[in-house]
Amino acid sequence: MGNLRDYQRKRDFSKTREPADNAPGKASGRAIFVVQLHHASRRHFDFRLQVGDTLKSWAVPKGPSYDPEVKRLAVEVEDHPISYAGFEGDIEHGYGKGHVDQFDLGVWTTEGDAEAQLLKGHLRFELFGKRLKGGWHLVRSGRKERQPAWFLIKAKDAFAGDVEADDLLDAKMTRSTRAAAKTPATRAAAKKSTARRKAVPKGKKVPRLRLARAAAALDGARPATSGTEFFKPELARLREFPPEGEQWLHEVKWDGYRILAAIADGEVKLWSRNALAWNDRLPDIVQALESLGLQSARLDGELIALDPRGHSDFNGLQATLSGEAQLPLVYMLFDLPHLEGSNLSRVRLVERKQLLQQLLAHAPKHLAFSSHAIGDGEGAFRMATEQQLEGIISKRVDSAYRPGRGDDWLKIKRLESDEFAVVGYTPPKGSRNGFGSLLLARPDPSVKDGWVYAGRVGTGFSDEQLRQLGKTLADKGRRKPTVKLAAIDPLLRDAHWVEPKAVAEVYYRGIGNKNLLRQPSLKTMRTDKTAADLIDSDRAPAAKASARRKRATAADITITHPDRVVYPGDGITKQEVADYYASVMTWFLPGVVNRPTSVIRCPEGTEKACFFQKHMIRGLKHVGSAKLKEESGAQATYIYPRDADSVIELVQFGALEFHPWGATIAQPDQADRVVFDLDPGEDVAWDRVAAAARLVHKLLAQLGLASFLRTTGGKGLHVVVPLNPGCPWPQAKGFAQAFASSLAQAHPLEFIATASKARRGGLIYIDYLRNSRGATSVASYSLRARTGAPVAMPLRWNELGKLKSGHDFDIHSAPKRLARLRSDPWEGIDELRQNLDEVMDKLG
């Protein structure tokens, strides 16, 4: 991060209009660059790059040159506030006296860490402005100067040419240059520097007319006009396994943001899948599309940031879009429903993609073609799994481009895989030959040469494998288990158990209850390995590896002062808190991951000072950060959990409670949860609170809204309404307020919708204020910093009658409850599609 002390020390802000620090709203979005023409005692260009929360700055006397053979001296000066990017006009007194014009403003990117490159003395970067484009270098000079000297050099790329900064001055900057010339010599220099006029170099364009003719000749193409308005994308359905056959093609499932591009009369407009305009956020992609030289087109693809392995990095993408990083972005294109006056939506997909590939053959590196393979879906999925990609998208080769969700596009997400010993089998049923399923086990670390049951695998076998394995296993085994069982499973009543010898490698979708594999399917039989190899292997079996990820010692996180008592009245230690969150992690994470989250930190325990923490602090390595606008209009860096390591790291920093937004960092202005907090007065009996929750549930159902139930770990209950797609926060708050007010008016002896505690006696306060941007609600499975270490627990509605209070579950009983559950009480909450538009119409 930068330091503004030198900047502020050199200026008298009572005499200069220059900003003293970062004004609200000036440190948001992509990392920017700015170049200013400064008519100080010596005319020069100020070149500034946003790195962190300041502008790293260099004075370039002759300005940038597009000629890669020219090295322009760049003298490093003090860091400036980001708000300085918008400064223009006269500096009338003191340091830097003279006139300032803005020469260029845009975003910039670099591969790798910008500060580390600057420290080494060579920064490679790209600029996306109106005047400065393409790749550049800043190289530290070896000369000893009073101030650090660098060279600004243009990279050899499609934008290189013989253009100088003075060639690109507009009329306003030209007048400033001539007005600042005070002597005959400076006037002559000013006249010379503003005499030439050249355009910004442009990249190589594609052969547009040839592609237009090719598009029009395709079977199914229709003449049509196309504007820059939003068009609805085609969406995929989720499937467990890839389809087979030559009628399917398979692409990588990129981990990024869906972006639609519409081009008309050469103008490019970018849209998110929710019809939000994205041009301002992606000038690099706009610039790349403009370089294609197209008059009209519609393109569909995924915006990604690439990690060093060439994989899409979603965290890196979010960090770049929020200004925390400067990674190069790539628009990975996979469809072309319109090109140069031809509607191609009825053209076969494989032909649209062939044309798209030709279009991108000479495109800038920020545009890429999403390649595919035809047939062998299982092989494509195996490749994606082995490379640890998110999964694949399977599409019908001859399908049209149809808006909305259908069966022509299928998404199959990656499975994990690991090796297990075969310890038995179940008999075949129906027409199945050989056996029903193989019984699997993993090494038991608590017992030497011991094994613990891991689950059954019955899918993924070929007919030949069924026959051969069935022949091998026939009439073998015994009825008594040869391994430790976590629980009695009635499906194993007829099982035959054998000694662990053979090894099976299986795919699976995580670890479920009782540490059993979820949805396993056979990858292969490892004839090159024996069960003994698994015991001696340095590769942790699946459940063991999963458990390690959940434990407090994950990654490089160490729980310091593990014996510190944080719940003094209950004797609960910091280590026990970490162990609790590790034990419930698979249940807890979905409610907080990628959501701005406030935590309640109690570093010295609950009986001493506790405080909310919502902004980034020094020392956090695994916790995500995103710059978001606050109510004041200022920008602040918020924290959010990215994974289990993020949670454990926050626990290490003293966090006990987690309170997420009802929105994600990807769409902070879109509410995807509405929470009604039923907070009873001191003298309200519990049965009234339960009845109130049932009434809210019933009234929401009458409006067509499904709702979910959660204890708060305190006195009350939460009724949670998921929204998919989400809606703007003012709409969510308006609905919640209208619903709460109507309820209070209809039942004045039960409810109150105002926050006044003085008027709350004998009533249940229905709190709707948690439904505004920046407001939070306690997360499901979060501890509370209260006596007894209670837990906020999601429930099924039919469990409400069994409750005795809103704090029935605690740090000890919550994990036991989860171990008994066969499914998530809130199962399906993220897939449920409902919104407030129709409801608000009903409410008027």
Top-confidence residue, 345 or 255: 345
pLDDT, average across residues 649-656: 94
Q: What is the CA radius of gyration of the chain?
A: 31
* φ, ψ of residue 776 in degrees (nearest 5): -135, 165
Residue 194 has pLDDT above 60, yes or no: no
Phi and psi at residue 284, to the nearest 5°: -65, -40
Report how far residue 517's alpha carbon sits from residue 453's, in angstroms, rounded to the nearest whole number.
10
CB-CB contact of 193 with 175 (8 Å): no
Q: What pLDDT score was predicted for residue 517?
A: 85
Most confident of 88-97, 344-353, 493-502, 718-727: 344-353
pLDDT value at 540 more than 50? no
Q: What is the pLDDT of residue 414?
A: 77
pLDDT band for 240, please (50, 70, 90 cuts): confident
Going by pLDDT thresholds of 50, 70 and 90, the confidence category of residue 709 is very high
Q: Choose between 471 and 445: higher pLDDT.
A: 471
The per-residue pLDDT for 104 is: 95
Neighbouring residues of 109: CB distance < 8 A, sequence distance ≥ 6: 31, 125, 126, 128, 284, 320, 326, 327, 328, 329
Output the CA–CA distances (angstroms, integers) from residue 801 to 3, 183, 708, in the order listed.
Answer: 59, 91, 15
Does residue 26 carry a catalytic annotation?
no
Overall average pLDDT of the 678-685 stretch = 91
pLDDT in tens, 79-124: 999 999 999 999 887 788 899 999 999 999 988 778 888 988 999 9
What does the pLDDT read at residue 544? Answer: 37
Mean pLDDT of 606-626: 86
Spatial separation of the C-alpha atoms in residues 574 and 568, rounded to whole Å: 11
Cross-sheet strand order for the sheet of 670-680: 751-752, 764-767, 670-680, 717-728, 708-711, 794-795
- Upper half-sphere CA count for residue 389 (Cβ side, 13 Å): 23
Parallel/antiparallel/unpaired status of strands 708-711 and 391-396: unpaired
Q: Is 50 exceeded by the pLDDT of residue 551?
A: no
Predicted local confidence at residue 27, as pLDDT: 46
Contact status, residue 397 vs residue 255, Cβ threshold 8 Å: no
CA 228 to chain centre: 27
Q: Per-residue pLDDT for 150 more than 70?
A: yes
pLDDT at position 541 is 39
Q: Which residues contact 290 (CB under 8 A, 6 or more apart)?
A: 266, 268
Mean pLDDT of 737-747: 93
**pLDDT number for residue 171:** 79
CB 231 within 8 A of CB 260: yes
Instruction: Report the share of the chain in percent with pLDDT over 90.
Output: 52
- pLDDT value of residue 666: 86
d(CA 133, CA 123): 16
Better-predicted residue by pLDDT, 56 or 561: 56
Highest mean pLDDT among 498-507, 567-576, 756-765: 567-576
Q: Looking at residue 523, what is its pLDDT?
A: 81
Distance CA(396)–CA(409), nearest Å, equals: 7
H, E, C per residue of 203-235:
CCCCCHHHHHHHHHCCCCCEECCCCCCCCCCEE
Tell me which of 26, 56, 133, 253 is the catalytic residue. Answer: 253
pLDDT at position 824 is 87
Two tokens, residue 787: 């006596």
196 — pLDDT class (breaks 50, 70, 90)? low
Confidence of residue 308 (pLDDT cuts 50, 70, 90): low
Domains and CATH numbers, the chain: 5-193 (no CATH), 208-231+250-372 (3.30.470.30), 416-540 (2.40.50.140), 670-775+789-843 (3.90.920.10)
Which of 651, 652, 672 is closest to 662 using CA atoms? 672
Stated as kind and residue range, the H or E segment containing 335 is strand 329-339
Residue 466 has pLDDT above 90, yes or no: no
For 19-53, write each residue's pLDDT tens digit: 888 765 444 578 899 999 999 888 999 999 998 88
Peptide bond into 308 cis (omega under 30): no
Among candidates 636, 830, 757, which has minimal Cα distance to 238? 830
Give me the pLDDT at residue 553, please: 36
Task: Label the pairing between strands 572-573 and 597-601.
Answer: unpaired
Query: Where is pLDDT greater, at 241 or 658?
Result: 658
- As a whole number, the mean pLDDT across the chain is 86
Looking at the predicted structure, is the pLDDT value of residue 795 above 70?
yes
Half-sphere exposure of 218 (CA within 13 A, CB side): 32
- pLDDT reading at 494 higher than 60: yes
Q: How far is CA 575 from each of CA 55, 491, 788, 819, rounded to the nearest angstrom? A: 42, 37, 16, 21
Residue 545, pLDDT score: 36
pLDDT score of 558 = 82
